[in-house]
Chains A and B, each alone.
Chain A
């Protein structure tokens, strides 16, 4: 059974409510994907595997919270983030949010053939800015990422760190209330880290919430006021950062 933390009586309004969320992938044993419409049992469809990525996760996150999510690889952390962002539909259960979250995923860059600057413009347009607004903000976004020098080079020439910094900068360009960060913060120099932590603090002051998936317990302890330990698709522990991190490390 999951342990839930008891929150104080003066509770801030919720920003994210996850209600018994279940997410299941269906794949062939060989790894090929199965379309939702195929029924198991028809001839030729042996060996379908169902991967239960999330098996019933529930929690409430409130304004000003910064939640760290830890767990083994394959425990469902990235799936959880993508589902909260609305980029993946739940198989059962519901995710509610006060506004559309902004996700910083692990997966590689946007459009490899295009320059950094053009990817910024497209990213801003996708966030909902108009062409004029996107062009105005583009320089600031590049500046924040420290990429102004390289803006005309195609993104496929960027290092993983450079593209992660650029994606982070695009994601925080819109005043977002809910930011989901999937292991994308440990990729900048000190100055960038300081800037990004500053943005996150501002976001929390603006009554937003941040989710941080990371394998670095140090950054979790530094930035989070609450930690959820996800184990094989279920919440194993949820509460005070030091307590949960210690328990997690003890179990290794």
Chain B
């Protein structure tokens, strides 16, 4: 039979073409319907990861806590007193914990597609669920970290205010931001594995410039233009928002809200669209 006869036959009987990228909104609807898959995968992965070590779940908290101690001690000596606020420990802990949420979403998100070849080859599902699942896994870890963070802040004497509840919308928005970042990173990694080499460097730059172990306003006190530019960093602003609501003496600048929501909208929409556009390519050449 000739080509057109076959297509005609298929169309007459309502057969659908396979291996064709679904239209955008249908793709998102399919993904939403399968949301249990992403969440369950995240939960299972988290448990599997923690079951291997003796301390298990404990490492979720221990890891950033140890980081905070190391940075605190080293930079506490190295950096001048004038670069950091008085309640430095509370300041540092929040910074390290929240930054970890971003950096792990970034790195795990980037790997989420290339590391799951088994799933890609055997199961049919919207691939966008893989980076989303990676970020959800970090969100579950963050939930544990927030509890510990709250306890530490109380122990350090930070007053409990209703403002503390505001971190919930902030962290939810940060989750969306991280998903956007993860989607972009995942797609780029599928095309250029080289990205995996650069991601630690980018993370490092962001870490040093996000005012985690020093205070941006204090360091850039007499350079307002530089201060403004530095505060355009969304990672810093997410951290600053959480600090603003939880740590006494920390301001909540409107600028932080503008930058975080702007970048979240940008990265999330870019990430979703660009990831969807390459939907057919995932798992292809692996």
Contacts and interface: CB of A to CB of B under 8 A. Distances in A.
Given A19-B7, A35-B191, A118-B44, A130 B15 contact: no
Contacts of B286: 33
Contact of A19 (B3, B118, B283): B3
A16 B9 CA distance: 10
A96 B10 contact: yes
Nearest to A105: B122
A122 B47 CA distance: 14
B44 A110 contact: no
Chain A interface size band reads 35 or more
B165 interface: no
A181 interface: no
A161 interface: no
Contact of B118 (A97, A103, A111, A127): A111
Contacts of B48: 113-114
Interface string A83-111: 11111111000111111110101011111
A216 B37 CA distance: 36
A157 to B, nearest CB: 14
A65 to B, nearest CB: 14
Nearest to A58: B6
A58 B16 contact: no
B19 A58 contact: no
Contacts, number: 129
A96 B15 contact: yes
Chain B interface size band reads 35 or more
Most buried by A among B15, B16, B120, B284: B15
Interface string B2-42: 01001101100111111110000000000001101100110
Contact of A90 (B19, B33, B283): B19
B43 to A, nearest CB: 10
B121 interface: yes
Nearest to B125: A126
A188 interface: no
Most buried by A among B1, B15, B18: B18
A110 B285 contact: no
17 contacts: A25-B285, A58-B3, A60-B6, A83-B18, A87-B283, A89-B284, A97-B15, A97-B16, A98-B14, A98-B15, A101-B18, A103-B122, A103-B124, A109-B118, A111-B118, A128-B33, A131-B40
Interface of A: 4, 13-20, 25-26, 33-37, 58, 60, 82-90, 94-101, 103, 105, 107-114, 118, 121-123, 125-128, 130-131, 134, 167
Interface of B: 1, 3, 6-7, 9-10, 13-20, 33-34, 36-37, 40-41, 44, 48, 118-125, 191-192, 280-281, 283-286
